[in-house]
Structure 1
Amino acid sequence: MIRAILRRGGLRGRTRTLPAPVPAGGLVAEVVGARIALGRRPVLDGAGLAVRAGEVLALVGPNGAGKSTLLGVLAGDLVPDAGEVRIGDRPVGAWTAPELALCRAVLPQAAALSFPFPVADVVRMGRAPWAGTDREDEDEAAVAEAMAAAEVTEFAARPFLALSGGERARVALARVLAQRTGLLLLDEPTAALDLRHQELVLRLCRERAAAGAAVVVVLHDLGLAAAHADRVAIVHGGRVAADGPPSEVLDEELLGRVYRQPVEVFPHPRTGVPLVVPKRTVPGA
């Protein structure tokens, strides 16, 4: 049914610019000096970010820091009041909406659907941008591969609305994976997931980066960011306060100031990956 709707939608025959592959380490997208206000409150205040192929970039920071807004600007879904946003070699506004959907896939915080589509059809929606292109022939393989990767194949025929919150989150991730773009933008993809599936999502992020994609993921769990991200960008007060490898960015003084909570940072005894825990007083000490 979804396939028939997409074909009737008139995408076939349109001329669209297909994104060119970007070599590892190459610039995929960039935000420079972005400023945006919601109402009278500045949410981004000169934020800048570079996204490179083959990397997982984690955006972390306290609530209200501007992480999701920065991701929306990077996706082209929010237009900043000032600053520049580029995807590939063009300003984001120079891409048409169908072309932009070939460049980047976006996973929002909430996966909302009003109709009881089967899970397989929801995932198949991720293939909509490729209708009428040479890569349309990949649709069935892309959907099957994405569902298997997100571990949702077993409920392919179930209505999306009958799923739990965590199951819906994994189906939404499968839709993004099926889109097969070179830039993945994921907003808190682990928020509704149990421990196993949190690790699954971040492993999938690493696999996509290893295959050449650029992955930007908003996370609240600093441990996940440290373990899986190549770079961590700390967003604070509408700006990127620090950007670099986890071992350099996850600093006790900086994190304590940004989160207004003293923390301790020490290396994992086996892997050496930074562990971040709140500094607590010992009862009776």
Structure 2
Amino acid sequence: MGVRPVLFRRRTRRLPLPSPLGTVLAEARSLSVRLGGRTVLDGVGLGVAAGEVLALVGPNGAGKSTLLAALAHDLPAASGEVLIDGGPAASWSAAELALRRAVLPQSAELSFPFPVEEVVRMGRAPWAGTAAEGEDDEAVREAMAAAEVTGFASRPFAALSGGERARVALARVLAQRTPLLLLDEPTAALDLRHQELVLRICRERAADGAAVVVVLHDLGLAAAYADRVAVLHGGRVAAEGPPARVLEAELLTRVYLQPVEVIDHPRTGEPLVIPWRAGRNFAS
């Protein structure tokens, strides 16, 4: 059979242990990040705990994706620190990080014509050589079913539409089965049905004990599905807390530079954010 690749040899890694609900699994402490000589995050303090969905919202350039990447330890801190699973992010090896957090970037591109199932199976690579290796087939099957991509398991990833690729990328992250999920605009390329599907998955993973951080532009989705919302503005956290408290008209109008009104949904009571419009007779 030959020698197995180094990636799949048994190796010494500190495996994640189950965390009680409420345990902080990722935290930024006085975190600042500089990119291209510019301060993109400035003294941010924010954490996410097992069992909750935290939505990061804010205008373009506010620092949402940068904060997500910093929480994943994919970007270095200029000052402050990031903790993952109770320890400094830098104290974990790359393999150990991959067992603790799964990251969904804004776009998913592959240079080789891998079939969908193989792309999803890539999410299982961190578990090679561990006791959980035997769960690979089950994890891949469940992740594909959750993301509704089972029907095109054998199709080349490159042949899919943008929305289908986004769901396959999500399935890869789900198959990784980490206690921390970091999702960057997972609904951007999706239709209405699949936007709702993705956020329901986030809620289900949180109910199972995961900590989920999701970058969203749709404030309605944030209000409906997040336990907490952090509004970023100018590289800082302008407000953070339950959606009903944070998503208020004065703050959002100031942050987005767009007048809005916030009303309670007549059935659920969730806040609905509506851009203020003078009338329906818009100039053409």
TM-score for the superposition, normalised by structure 1: 0.96
Q: Which position in structure 1 is the counterpart of 2:137?
A: 140
Structure 1 residue 213 corresponds to structure 2 residue 210: yes
For 1:131-183, what per-residue CA distance to the aligned partner results, in whole angstroms no more than 9, with x for missing partners?
Answer: 00000000000000000000000000000000000000000000000000000
Q: Which position in structure 2 is the counterpart of 1:61?
A: 58
For 1:22-54, what per-residue CA distance to the aligned partner results, in whole angstroms no more than 9, with x for missing partners?
Answer: 111111110011111111221101111111000
Structure 1 residue 81 corresponds to structure 2 residue 78: yes
Judging changes above 3 Å, is the alpha-carbon distance between structure 1 residues 7 and 60 closer, same or farther for their aligned structure 2 residues? farther
- What residue ranges of structure 2 are gaps of 5+ in the alignment? none
Which residue, 231, 241, 249 being the options, matches 1:234?
A: 231
Which residue, 80, 87, 98 being the options, matches 2:95?
A: 98
Judging changes above 3 Å, is the alpha-carbon distance between structure 1 residues 7 and 78 closer, same or farther for their aligned structure 2 residues? farther
Query: 1: distance between equivalents of 2:195 and 2:202?
Result: 11
Q: CA deviation at 1:7?
A: 4.8
For 1:91-143, what per-residue CA distance to the aligned partner results, in whole angstroms no more than 9, with x for missing partners?
Answer: 00000000000000000001010000000000000000000000000000000
Q: CA deviation at 1:88?
A: 1.3
Q: Which position in structure 2 is the counterpart of 1:245?
A: 242
Task: Answer whether contact 1:31 1:48 (CA < 8 A) is retained.
Answer: yes
Task: Answer whether contact 1:188 1:217 (CA < 8 A) is retained.
Answer: yes
For 1:205-229, what per-residue CA distance to the aligned partner results, in whole angstroms no more than 9, with x for missing partners?
Answer: 0000000000000000000000000
For 1:183-216, what per-residue CA distance to the aligned partner results, in whole angstroms no more than 9, with x for missing partners?
Answer: 0000000000000000000000000000000000
Query: 1: distance between equivalents of 2:4 and 2:225?
Result: 39
Q: Structure 1: which amino acid aligns with 2:10?
A: G
Q: CA deviation at 1:12?
A: 1.7
Structure 1 residue 194 corresponds to structure 2 residue 194: no
Query: 1: distance between equivalents of 2:4 and 2:172?
Result: 18
Q: Structure 1: which amino acid aligns with 2:148?
A: E
Q: Which position in structure 1 is the counterpart of 2:261?
A: 264
Task: Answer whether contact 2:121 2:172 (CA < 8 A) is retained.
Answer: yes
3-state SS of the aligned residue for 2:7?
coil
Identity of aligned residues (%): 72
Q: CA deviation at 1:10?
A: 3.5
Query: 2: distance between equivalents of 1:22 and 1:12?
Result: 27
Q: Which position in structure 2 is the counterpart of 1:152?
A: 149
Q: CA deviation at 1:283?
A: 4.8
Query: 2: distance between equivalents of 1:79 and 1:11?
Result: 28
Q: Structure 2: which amino acid aligns with 1:215?
A: V
Query: 2: distance between equivalents of 1:103 and 1:135?
Result: 14
Q: Which position in structure 1 is the counterpart of 2:220?
A: 223
3-state SS of the aligned residue for 1:10?
helix
Task: Answer whether contact 2:13 2:95 (CA < 8 A) is retained.
Answer: yes
3-state SS of the aligned residue for 1:139?
helix
Query: 1: distance between equivalents of 2:138 and 2:280?
Result: 56
3-state SS of the aligned residue for 1:146?
helix
How many residues are matched? Answer: 280
Query: 2: distance between equivalents of 1:125 and 1:283?
Result: 49
Q: Structure 2: which amino acid aligns with 1:214?
A: A
Task: Answer whether contact 1:7 1:131 (CA < 8 A) is retained.
Answer: no
Query: 1: distance between equivalents of 2:221 and 2:206?
Result: 16
Task: Answer whether contact 2:240 2:246 (CA < 8 A) is retained.
Answer: yes
Structure 1 residue 20 corresponds to structure 2 residue 17: yes
3-state SS of the aligned residue for 1:220?
coil
Q: CA deviation at 1:11?
A: 3.6
